[in-house]
Structure 1
Amino acid sequence: MRALIYPEYGRLEVGEWPEPQAGAGEVLIEVAACGICGSELGSFAANSKRRTPPLVMGHEFAGRIAALGEGVSGLAVGQRVMVNALVHCGGCTLCRRGLTHLCRNRQVFGMNRQGAFAERVAVPAHVVYPLPDSVSPLQGSLVEPLGNGVHVMELVRGNDLETALVCGAGTIGLFCMQAARAAGAQRIAVTDTNDHRLGIAREIGADVTWNARRDDIVAAALAWTEGEGVSLAIDAVGAPESRRDSIRATRPGGDIVWIGLHENEATLTTYDIVLPEKRVIGSYGANDADLRRAIQLFAEGKIALDPWVQTFPLAEGDRVFLQMLRQELPAIKAVLVP
C-alpha cells in the first residue's frame, strides 16, 4: 500500500509499505483523513528519538472499517470511525483509575505502532469511536486534537470562565479557544507571534488578540480585566515566556493549564503562584469522555475549521510536511487524504 514513509532521520518519501492485517481484537481501517501534528513536525526537525525511523507517522485520523479481526464485536465493516491516538492497556493502576490517557504502558500511533499516513492501518478495537453521519471524515480526523482542548476544560470545572487567555494560535490553541467557548467562557483573548494566525483566531471567535513580539501580554491582560487578571490561562505554546505570562496574567485563585511542550525548562517565581493561590495544572491527551464530547461538538456545529484547516493528497505528503515545517503554507493545520 502507499504511505508517507519516514525511512531515516531527515528524510520523508511517499512509497510502498507492507499491507497491515487486523489481528485478534483489532480492526483494519481504510484511512480517510489524517492530520499532521505539530509534535510530528517537531520530532522530524529535531531528529527526535521519540519517533525512530523507519516509520509511518500519523495519529490524528478517521476512516472506515475495512475488516474485523477475530473476537471483535460491536463494530461493523463499512462503519465510519475515528481512532484514539493513545492505545491504553486497560490493566495498569492508572487505567483502573479511569486515567486511560495516562496509561503506564500506552502506545501511540506513529511512534511505537504504525501510524495513519497510509492507505490502511490496523488498530485495537477498544480505541475505535463510531462517527455520526453529521461528522465528516475531516472533522473525524480532528476529534483527537479537539479532545485535547476538551480535556483542558474538564480539568478546570468550577472555574467561572469570566475571562480566558489562550497563549498560542496553533492547532491546539485554536481548539482550546473553541472548547473554552463551548464550555461557557464569556470573553477570550489569544496571543501568538504571528499576525496571520491571530487574524484567524479573531475570525473564529477570539474577542481580542495580542502579538507576543510587540505587546506586553501581562499588562494587556490586566488592562483587559480592569486589573483583576484572567480567570483561566491556557499555555498552548510551552515556551518559558508563555509559561511566565500565563501565570502572571491570571487572577488570584485562578487556573493555569499547561498543554504546550515546546521547551522542557521554565523559570518560575514561586511567589507568583503560592501567595495568590493560583493553580498550575498539566494537561496531556484526551480520555474517553473527552473524545466523545469532541465528537458531539463537531456534530452540533460548534467547531470552526475554515479557513485554517486545509486538505492535501497523501501523494504530496512529503512536500506538504516540509512546507509546514518552513511555514510556507497559509494553513495552520494540514490534513492528508489518501
Structure 2
Amino acid sequence: MGRDRANIRVDLWADGDWRGLSMGAQHLYQQILTHPTLNYAGVADWRPGRLAALTKDRTAADVQRDACELTEAHFIHADDTTEEVLVRSFARHDGVIRHPRLHVTMANDFAGIASTDIKEFFAFEIQKLNQEQPELALWNHPKVQTILKAKARDMKEVTQRVRQEEAMTFGSATAKPMAKDPNSVSMRTATATATSSKEDIPSSEISDEIPRPDVDELLDLLDSCLLANGTRKPSRNKKNREAARLLLDRDGYKVEQVAWMIRWATADEFWRANILSMSKLREKFDQLKAKAGVATKTPSAGFHGEIDVEAVLGRDVWTPGTPPEGLDVAGEIAWKKEQRNIHNAERLAEAKQKLGIS
C-alpha cells in the first residue's frame, strides 16, 4: 500500500551526517522519501532512469552516483536485482510504529519485500526499536512478532565491512573516494562483494606492463557505448582493466562474447543505467546472461549463437501495466514477473519465426 503524503522531519538539517551530504545526494534522499511507491516498510521502487527523469538535466548515472554516497553514509540500501530501495531509518522517524493501525500495514509491506538484504536490514531496525521502546503496543501483534523473529543484519556493519574489504583489496587511496564513484556503489551484498573483490584483483597473475590489445579493445568498446548513452567514460584503472582480463583469462569468455554483452547491456533499458564500468559488467555477468537469454544455443547470431531478440525485433518498450486490484506488494511483484516472462517468451517466439528457426 503506497502513501499519499510524506513525513519529513525539519530537524533533519541539524544532523551532521545529513549536512555532510552533497546537494545531489540530499535531493535523491528526499525524492525517495516523497516517491509514491514508498511503502510503510520504507521501501520504494529502485529505477534510476525513472528517478532521473523526474528532474531536469539528471541522468541515471547521476542517480547512481548520489545513491552510492547515500549508501556509504548509511541512509539507504538499493538492490539492483529486485529494483527496491530501503530508507534505513524510515520506521524510526516516520511515526509508523506509534500509529494504532499502520503497524499492520508495515508488517504486510515487510512480507512483500523481495530483496533478502533489504528484508534483513529492515528487520534489524525494527528489532532495535523493540529493544529501545519495549512498552509500545505494536510488539504484541502477531504480524509484527514475525518481524521480531526474522533474520536480521545491521546495514551499517555490512557497509563498513564491505568498505574495509575493498580498502584492503584496492588500497586506501583507491577505496577512499568510493562514495563519489557511481561504479563502486555498495549496493551488493557483503558476501558477493567480498567474493568478487578478493577474486577480481589477483595482482600476481599478470604484470601490468604486458600489453593486452584484447583488454584495450573491450575497454574502448565500453567507453564508446557509454558515451553514446550520454554517460561519462569510467576510469581506466587497475580494477576495470583486471575485470576485462579476468573475463577472458579466468572466466573463459571470448572477446566477441564479452563485446556482445557490452553492446546488449548498454542498450538494455534497465542495465544501461547500472553497467557503468568493466568491473560492474563482470560482477553482473551471470545475471546479464540470464536476462539476455543466452543459455540455449541456436543457429542465429548472439552471445553463443543465441537469438538477440532486440537485434531482430528492435528495442522492447513494453511494460506490464497496472496489476489487478486486491494484490499485496508480493502479489504485484509476482504478477509483473509472470507477465514479463509471458511477454519475453512471445517475443522470442516471434524472433525465431522471423529468422526461420523452429
Q: Please indicate, yes or no, whether the TM-score normalized by the shorter chain is above 0.5.
A: no
TM-score range with shorter-chain normalisation?
Answer: under 0.3
> TM-score with structure 2 length normalisation?
0.26
**When you count strand as a share of all residues, which structure comes out higher?**
1
> TM-score with structure 1 length normalisation?
0.27
